[in-house]
Structure 1
Amino acid sequence: MHQRHHWRPHVMFKLGFLVNPIAGIGGSVAFKGSDGEDIANQAKALGAEPKSNLRARLALEVLTPYKDKITIFTGKADMGEDTARALGFNVQVIHYYEGDVSTASDTEALVSALQHQQVDLLLFAGGDGTARNVCAKVQGFFPVLGIPAGVKIHSGVYALTPTAAGRVVEEMLNNQLVSFLDADVMDIDETAFRQGVVKARRYGEMRVPSHLQYIQAVKSGGKETDELVLMDIAAHVIEQMDEELFVMGSGSTVAAVMQEMALDNTLLGVDLVQEQELLAQDVTEQILYQAIANAKGQDQQVKLVITVIGGQGHILGRGNQQLSPRVIRAIGKDNILIVATKRKLQALEQRPLIVDSGDPSLDAELSGYLPVITGFHDQVLYPVASPGLLDA
């Protein structure tokens, strides 16, 4: 569990305010992001108009009743100054960029300048690329909160909407004790994404307000594509891969983990992986059991990655009969990693996951609430039951 930090009110609230003027400009013309000056110029040539300052204004409008309590520290012109002044806030410009357009280096320079002002919070408007730039320089000096304004929004540092971002700051201004936690900064490779390939990685973490009503949970909600969620599930599993022997079960969610490692996958079979290398494909129950025994004989851990197979919620007993009772017992309940998207779990309409191993006593042992990996560092507890328990 991340350590929580608490903010306590000052007499004057010092608000850092940063707008990436071109964030989201590629969205209306079907670009997969706005990273890079060339992409922004192409988008403008196609008629796209910047909207990030409009979204930033929605957040600041919530705070206009508190103008006498706030000093805003920002960058010149469309990096924040224009929007803040238009709403009548007390503004101090601490960064001036050259030329007509600010760049990612200006974002980083402004964040560095804000460190000397000891701001209480940085409110920034942009997308995942902007979050990366902020993360590179913030270094824990102050907490941050993102106003969603980009094409790519799946980092956990963003509020659900611009207005929601304003509401979080409003709670701080109303002397409420607001807790903070560390949230992940994620981004995808736009060049690969435009070619239909999703490649993403975690770039770090930043402190954000932990208000569940207003702050976006990483990898949850309908805004993300299933492909992005699967990629994040894969990242969580791969992060745990060291010297252990991994038994990769059947199903498309497990296949996504294999794909992220660029390994051949047996969609309806079981594969063996160690140190992110493919050891054996489509193994039989006997070969699988022997491989587990050999690994344990060398004091190596064995972990099993399984997912929901079929529409009824089976995790054992459908399409993965190689995972026999003796195999499951050899692996151990604590070494089973269940992976599934929240969308797939919601489709079960609160029905439990089903284990049907053919051994009623094993099924009973596996029943209860088990963690399900639903994203990168994102897990939920979900009920697991055997057919016998379901009928009882």
Structure 2
Amino acid sequence: MDRLPIFRLGLIVNPYAGLGGAVALKGSDDMAVEALARGAIPMAQQRASLALAELLPWQAQIQIKTVAGAMGEDVALALGFSTEVLCQAAQEPSTAQDSERAAQLLAQAGVDLLLFAGGDGTARNICHAIGDSTTVLGIPAGCKIHSGVYAITPAAAGKVVAQMVRGELLSVQDALVMDIDEVAFREGTVRAKRYGEMQIPTALRYVQSVKTAGKESEELVLDDLAAFFVAQMEPDVRYVMGSGSTVAAVMQELGLPNTLLGVDVVENGTVIAADVTAAQLLELVKDAPAQLVITLIGGQGHIFGRGNQQLSPAVIRAIGRSNIRLLATKSKIQQLDGRPLVSDSGDPMLDQQLSGMVRVLCGYNDYVMYRLGAED
């Protein structure tokens, strides 16, 4: 059996989450000192441990990036995980600002998933710090869990992460971050508020839902995928349209001519350069906002280095990993049979930098998470 690639798991534990519940404080926001004085026993680390215990069979394939001490390091080391500490709390008890700083550092470190233990207040902190830039999942450990970013139990959170580590297909969806006003709640008033959305992994919907009137489902999926992508396109952004039939479906939706085996550049609904070379591309993207729209080679999984050498390492770096938009139907991904996507750009260091879990648009507002990068 092939060895799985290393999964970079970010971990944040709010050690004081849920303290207020058992001592009748109706929450823990800004109440850690009083809760401890009343005899509250911290439980967040124990709940984080329950989640991580689900990952022990794949321990050798996981590196945990976390915060010193009670905010993650203690739990990870106690279970024997390879652990890297990126920061520590500025004070004790730790504060919302400590959680936010940690989330920013972990997101910058390129974790494949940010796992955090806490309640709605912790979810608010994470959302405020990183928005939807990184896929997250919450381990429920607070007094109140109104947000949709949490697994139903700590063990369930661990099971979802285990699916990701094993390379199973998981959809990604937006989930609401909600919280109530604890001051009002202590006075008997429930006042909930929406604070934003974050992206979480969810169970994959394997069955395609579109089929009609003699037209193949795959074609309709491509139509839906293309329509959704076009609806998300932004003004004054240069879209570098890679080769292949999936990207061609987007060009068809735009009503634009397409170089099937080449690379075109689209801006504001117009082809501004067709069948470009690597040198021409670099000139077009190095000083302008740009996104790279690509698909994978069916059966092989290559996204760079097979038929799109115009996408040189210099071009890819100029555009940036966060601006790569990967499109493919689920059936195309399933043909890989669990093998990772491959970048063979000609620059091994760049290929390594691109590795990790990536979002793939598979249909109308339908994403999956999939591994990019061959096994180490």
TM value normalised by structure 2: 0.53
**1:140 paired residue number:** 132
Q: Is the 8 A contact 2:131 2:197 kept in 1?
A: no
**2:119 paired residue number:** 127
Shift of 1:15: 0.3
Separation in structure 2 between the aligned mates of residue 137 and residue 111 of structure 1, nearest angstrom: 6
Separation in structure 2 between the aligned mates of residue 156 and residue 139 of structure 1, nearest angstrom: 14
1:179 aligns with 2:174: no
**1:116 paired residue number:** 108
Equivalent residue for 1:32, pick from 26, 32, 49: 26
Task: Find the residue that maps to 1:124 and give its secondary structure.
Answer: strand
Aligned residue type for 2:16: I
Q: Is the 8 A contact 2:120 2:146 kept in 1?
A: yes
Separation in structure 1 between the aligned mates of residue 136 and residue 39 of structure 2, nearest angstrom: 32
**1:13 paired residue number:** 7
Equivalent residue for 2:81, pick from 76, 84, 89: 89
Superposition pairs of residues 148-227 of structure 1, within 5 angstroms: 148-211=140-203
1:41 aligns with 2:33: yes
**2:288 paired residue number:** none
Aligned residue type for 1:34: S
Separation in structure 2 between the aligned mates of residue 11 and residue 56 of structure 1, nearest angstrom: 23
**1:107 paired residue number:** 99
Separation in structure 2 between the aligned mates of residue 44 and residue 183 of structure 1, nearest angstrom: 32
Q: Deviations over 1:367-387 (max 9, x none)?
A: xxxxxxxxxxxxxxxxxxxxx
Q: Is the 8 A contact 2:9 2:112 kept in 1?
A: yes
Structure showing greater relative contact order (alpha-carbon pairs closer than 8 Å, 6 or more residues apart): 2
Separation in structure 2 between the aligned mates of residue 116 and residue 46 of structure 1, nearest angstrom: 38
TM value normalised by structure 1: 0.50
Q: Percent identity?
A: 54
Task: Find the residue that maps to 2:122 and give its secondary structure.
Answer: helix
Separation in structure 2 between the aligned mates of residue 145 and residue 192 of structure 1, nearest angstrom: 28
Separation in structure 2 between the aligned mates of residue 78 and residue 160 of structure 1, nearest angstrom: 23
Separation in structure 1 between the aligned mates of residue 92 and residue 34 of structure 2, nearest angstrom: 16
Superposition pairs of residues 226-237 of structure 1, within 5 angstroms: none
RMSD between aligned alpha carbons?
Answer: 1.7
Separation in structure 2 between the aligned mates of residue 90 and residue 96 of structure 1, nearest angstrom: 18
Separation in structure 2 between the aligned mates of residue 141 and residue 118 of structure 1, nearest angstrom: 10
Q: Is the 8 A contact 2:169 2:204 kept in 1?
A: no
Separation in structure 2 between the aligned mates of residue 122 and residue 109 of structure 1, nearest angstrom: 13
Q: Deviations over 1:168-216 (max 9, x none)?
A: 0011112111111000000000000000011111000000112399xxx
1:57 aligns with 2:49: yes
Q: Assess, with a 3 A threshold, how the Cα gap between structure 1 residues 10 and 132 changes in structure 2: closer, same or farther.
A: farther
Separation in structure 2 between the aligned mates of residue 74 and residue 22 of structure 1, nearest angstrom: 17
Aligned residue type for 1:93: V
Aligned residue type for 2:28: S
Separation in structure 2 between the aligned mates of residue 114 and residue 171 of structure 1, nearest angstrom: 21
Structure 2: tracts of 5 or more residues without a match: 206-376
Task: Find the residue that maps to 2:178 and give its secondary structure.
Answer: strand
Aligned residue type for 2:63: T
Shift of 1:139: 2.6
Q: Deviations over 1:3-29 (max 9, x none)?
A: xxxxxx972100000000100001111
Shift of 1:98: 2.8
Shift of 1:140: 2.3
Task: Find the residue that maps to 1:210 and give its secondary structure.
Answer: strand
Would you say how many aligned residue pairs link Structure 1 and Structure 2?
203
Shift of 1:100: 3.0
**1:23 paired residue number:** 17
Deviation above 6 Å: which 4+ runs of structure 1? none
- Bigger Rg, structure 1 or 2: 1
Q: Assess, with a 3 A threshold, how the Cα gap between structure 1 residues 212 and 198 changes in structure 2: closer, same or farther.
A: farther
Aligned residue type for 1:141: S
Separation in structure 2 between the aligned mates of residue 145 and residue 96 of structure 1, nearest angstrom: 21
**1:383 paired residue number:** none
**1:338 paired residue number:** none
